[in-house]
Chains A and B, each alone.
Chain A
Amino acid sequence: MPTRALTTRHAQDLELFADRWAKAGLVLLVLLCLGFPFMAGNKWLVVGLQAQIAIVGSVSLMILTGFAGQISMGHAAFIGIGAYTTAMLGEHHHFPFWLALPLAGLAAAAVGMMIGPFALRLRGLYLALITVGLVFIVKHMLYHQVAWTGGAKGMKVPAYLWFGGDAPKLSDYAKEPLDLGVVSLDSQQLMFFVFLLLAVAVVLCGVHIARSNTGRAMMAVRDHDLAASVLGIHPARTKVLAFGISSFFAGVCGGMLALQLSYLMPDGFGLPMSVNYIAMIVLGGIGTIFGGVWGAIMFVVLHPVAEQLQPYVPYFSERTDTLFSTVLFAVVVCIFLIFEPLGLFGFWLRIKRYFLAWPFRYG
């Protein structure tokens, strides 16, 4: 495998897919993404939807924790706010889902920017524990603000295609698929493509933030905020911005989650969800968008894999709950953290380096 060509022009530097191999990979990826909803059965289509949601969520957390270095255990709160905003806009005000999603992001971002100032005074663990508090407070609101959220009973999430209560819904296509001539799409497949668009947009945003001034400022603040401020970076503005961007995408992720679940209960938006997202970015490789994406995919795919394995594992074989997948994921994360600090990204780097010099051991 050839090494990347020497860049001689700025435009070459900016290319996302610089060499032939990357372009080939891109084509393969596009084909896979487009073909997936037609090849996968219903179960794996749901896994695909969950993966897209998880990608948006973990990339958004990566921007905050991976780039800006702010440890947040409050991701579930932002996702919850996004999810319930989407649900309430749809259910109470009959907003179409494509408008509710960005509004959900804005609602989450508003709360996120309110947390931002705390991050200016607190660092490390103190900030993490404040965000734990945020999760508890939001969950309490979701449970007890019954008029808005339906409380513990939960609420429906209608995905209207246009304004008004009698507008057609996305779920209408479940019965009669949308006929496009060449192919016909049912509601799940349609949702897959909508989510694909969103996930790609968010990932591209993440990649470009990482390569831009903003991202570099975030990383400088992460590595040493006092030093960064000496270099002319405004740490306060950078932190608040990181919280804003991250929680906006988290809100969108919540909206997608709401649409996919189509019925919301406050139970899911607790600390475990935050922990899962942190685990995803750590598993993938902290500080890289690659890590955010692949950590999320790995997390989502582990669950059906665990389901397949469960009958063969002693003590867990008779259980019907998700306990085994939790344990499997926990063990995998612990092993990765102890033996491969860079996570999947480090794994990928090693594979790439091996093949760079192939068939020789060292290049």
Chain B
Amino acid sequence: MLSLHIVNGLALGAVYALVALGFVVIYRASQVFNFAQGELLAFGAFLMIALFQAGVPWGLALVLTMVITGLLGVLIERVFLRPLVGRPVFVTIIVTIFVAMILHAGMMVGWGPEMKGSTPTPWNKAGMVTIRAAVTEGSGTININEASLESLGELLSLDTKSLARLSERKDVRSFAGETPFHSIDELLLCNGPDDCANPMAAGYPDDPTCLPQVCLNPKVYARIKHKVSVEGESGMRVVRPALEVPVNSVVSILIAVLALGLFFLVIRFTRLGIAMRATASDQETSLAMGIPVGRVFAWSWFIAGAFAALGGALLGLYPRQVELNLAYTALAAFPAVVVGGLDSAVGAVIGGFLLGLLVVLCQVYIEPAMGHFGKDFHEVFPYLMMILVLVVRPYGLFGSKDVERV
């Protein structure tokens, strides 16, 4: 299970890394901390769905989403932030926050507050990549007769989240976007398609009508054996459980790594990259040397917007849903930026991946141990970590220390 959590954590971390890098790119160029990053992310996710529904092929839709969101970023910079060059930090912070509010309201009016389903994928959205097949002794499935989904949930004393995973058609509102459904994965176990043709068994119900056949984890089976009538029991025993990770997580990580790699190549080897680095190190000197600083600002916002959109498209993947609350993910990415150091791109990426891992592992291992107080603790935990890191290193792990002159 740990390796599954690590993959899921890295997938979430990939999104955080993209968002955090967006923060850093803008901050390095213009010393603006862009609180609208989250709204750009949500905008990207919405746009992706809208484009795909309009019939644009997936790859083109993704590219278009990134370009349009990037242009939106450029527009924001030109209209709201260019007049504020040279003003105190908190003024720019406030403006970006209020730009975020305006964007939020715009999306609320345009797309509505309801969930939009997951972002589209050309691959099977619920597919799993089998890293290691299960080893079983014996074979067979357990049929639970006349056990409706709720009663199964009662039997196994599932919480609402796991139950929601069992069946999306159940109108369970607490379907939390980010939760890796570890508890249900421990419950239901599929021994490959031959053993168990029912998609229910893998925990991903595509057809809600086929319920009765559920492959159970042997431990759970032992717990509920006497409570349900069991047919066709044939002594299945799993020696080693299968190791499967969602395709979505793997693809998220791959796409993000590709995009991040491309970014670092651009920064290292192109004229634009050199201009960006020069602007970051000294704006006035860059201007004097003939570097178009204004255009560098625009490019930074474009890159940040495009990365936010990509993050949104990846964050909205199944089993998460696209909704306006996706914007709060960017709030959750603050600790990544701060821990990495506000002006360090490498720090942001490392911080982002670390943060994703930390959040998922906290959800799985720390929250259950804290009882009621641990509920949603993963939202706070990164901030606690951030404060600890800042106490020891006030400029983050990779940030550069200010030299103070009188």
Contacts and interface: CB of A to CB of B under 8 A. Distances in A.
Interface stretch (B94-102, B237-245, B259-267): B94-102
A224 B405 CA distance: 10
B296 to A, nearest CB: 20
A125 B406 contact: no
Contact of A327 (B84, B91, B101, B404): B101
Given A133-B387, A341-B87, A145 B101 contact: no
Interface stretch (B43-51, B130-138, B220-228, B378-386): B378-386
Contacts of A338: 80, 83-84, 95
Contacts of B257: none
Interface stretch (B3-11, B61-69, B142-150, B369-377): B369-377
A143 B94 contact: no
Interface of A: 65, 71, 118, 121-126, 128-130, 132-133, 136-137, 140, 143-146, 224, 226-227, 230, 271, 275, 278-279, 282, 286, 315-316, 319, 323-324, 326-327, 329-331, 333-334, 337-338, 341
Contact of A145 (B99, B373, B384): B373
A71 B386 contact: no
B331 interface: yes
A224 B404 CA distance: 10
B93 A71 contact: yes
A279 B98 contact: yes
Contacts of A230: 406
B52 interface: no
A136 B102 contact: no
B108 interface: yes
Given A118-B391, A133-B386, 19 more contacts: A123-B402, A125-B33, A125-B93, A125-B342, A126-B396, A128-B33, A128-B90, A130-B390, A133-B335, A226-B404, A226-B406, A275-B94, A279-B97, A282-B90, A316-B109, A326-B105, A327-B102, A330-B99, A334-B99
Contact of A144 (B83, B342, B373): B373
Contacts of A121: 390-391, 394
Interface residues of B, number: 46
Contacts of B99: 330, 334
Interface string B351-393: 0000000000000000000001101110110011011001100
A357 B27 CA distance: 45
Contacts of B396: 126
User: Which applies to chain B's interface (DSSP): helix, strand, loop or mixed?
Assistant: helix
11 contacts: A118-B387, A118-B390, A126-B390, A133-B383, A136-B380, A140-B376, A227-B406, A282-B91, A316-B109, A319-B109, A337-B94
Contacts of B394: 121-122, 126
Contacts of A286: 88
User: Which applies to chain A's interface (DSSP): helix, strand, loop or mixed?
Assistant: helix
B91 A337 contact: yes
Nearest to A135: B383
Nearest to B386: A133
A129 B373 contact: no
Name the residue among B83, B89, B90, B91 with the largest chain A CB count within 10 angstroms.
B90
B51 to A, nearest CB: 22
Contacts, number: 120
Contacts of B33: 125, 128
B395 A126 contact: yes
Contacts of B377: 140
B338 interface: yes
Contacts of A323: 105, 108-109
Contact of B94 (A130, A140, A333): A333
Name the residue among A132, A143, A227, A319 with the largest chain B CB count within 10 angstroms.
A132
B406 A136 contact: no
Given A71-B90, A146-B372, A330 B383 contact: no
A143 B108 CA distance: 26
B299 interface: no
Name the residue among A315, A330, A333 with the largest chain B CB count within 10 angstroms.
A330
B95 A334 contact: yes
Contacts of B373: 144-145
Nearest to A115: B387
A286 B384 CA distance: 31
The 10 closest A-B pairs by CB, nearest first: A133-B383, A330-B98, A330-B101, A121-B394, A140-B380, A327-B105, A338-B83, A71-B90, A144-B373, A315-B109
Nearest to A333: B98
A282 B95 CA distance: 10
A252 B105 CA distance: 32
B308 to A, nearest CB: 18
A129 B406 contact: no
B301 interface: no
